[in-house]
Structure 1
Amino acid sequence: MTRSTEETVRGFLGEVRSGQSPERAEHYMSQTVLAHQVRAGARETLERGPANYTEHVEEMLEMFGQFEFEVDELLVDGDRAYARWIQRGHHVGDIDGHEPTGRPIETVGSAVYRVEAGRIVEYWIQQDAAGLMTQLTAPVN
């Protein structure tokens, strides 16, 4: 059975990217996924796979704790889906060299996912790195 683009991306975000079940990445991702990342103007393309992505989400859980992941918008057009989200957690692990403070932390991101045969094969992601850095460097009261 082949899932639709919407079913694939909604399932991936709700189960895997949300941190609820990162080990389920293999159910939504192709063995090789091109991940185009834009962070503070720097662009790079990585090859990701389900195991690598599972590790990536587990690292986020180490940094943010069990975070809340809210999808604000999901738009689908053929084999592509655009998603925008807010992630809320706490600074419980080292993030870019910043020691944990335990303070609440919120990040905003968006991505376009390309789906073939019910699996994500490519995505373009942007994260609000400046907003995260502002929170990490804010004085502790």
Structure 2
Amino acid sequence: MADNAARRDRIQKAWEAAWDRGEVAALDSLLSPAYRRIESGGAEHGRDEFKASIVSTRAAFPNLSTVVDEIVVEGDRAAVRWHSSGAHTQSFLGVPATNRSVEVNGATFARFRDDLIVEETVTWDPRALLTALGIVSVGQDR
């Protein structure tokens, strides 16, 4: 089993490569082939779907910057607090470019098996993104 500092370092490097540079193959050394990602709202994705979502997000927000604010690792668990910002310059999930700058933040909770992450639960507020893009008004019902 890797030590906590080594796991923190691997998470940091893989996130920077994937989210900031679009080098999603860097996740292969961190995420198990059986990886499962559970997002806000309950949607679940495998490793390849997650990597594809990063590619499509970066296409819509080409200057996307994701900052890892904090990583806490203890045993087979890790918690990552992060925030992302970027300008919406291309279509995203069917929404035409708004050219608005957005910022979202969230937390990711991971579970390792052996030395790979097998599961992550991600919590963030997608409504904050939709509000920043001008798609949903503050106080508007769903």
Compute the TM-score of the two structures, normalised by the length of structure 2: 0.81
On the 8 A contact 1:25/1:53 being kept in 2, the answer is no
- Show the 5 A alignment for 1:17-36: 17-36=19-38
Residue in structure 2 matched with residue 83 of structure 1 by the alignment: 80
- Answer whether contact 1:9 1:81 (CA < 8 A) is retained: no
Q: Which residue of 1 aligns with 2:138?
A: none
Q: 1:135 aligns with which of 125, 132, 141?
A: 132
Q: How far apart, CA to CA, are the structure 1 residues paired with 2:67 and 2:87?
A: 15
Structure 1 position 59, deviation (Å): 0.6
Q: Which runs of 5+ in 1 are unaligned?
A: none
Q: In structure 1, how many angstroms separate the alpha carbons of the residues matched to 2:124 and 2:90?
A: 19
Deviation at 1:35, TM superposition (A): 1.1
Q: 4+ runs of 1 displaced by more than 6 Å?
A: none
Higher relative CO (Cα under 8 Å, sequence separation at least 6) belongs to 1
Q: Matches of residues 29-68 of structure 1 in structure 2 within 5 Å?
A: 29-38=31-40, 42-46=41-45, 48-49=46-47, 51-68=48-65
Q: How many residues align?
A: 134
Post-superposition offset of 1:20: 4.4
Which stretches in structure 2 are left out of the alignment for 5+ residues?
A: 136-142
TM-score calculated relative to the size of structure 1: 0.81
Identity of aligned residues (%): 21
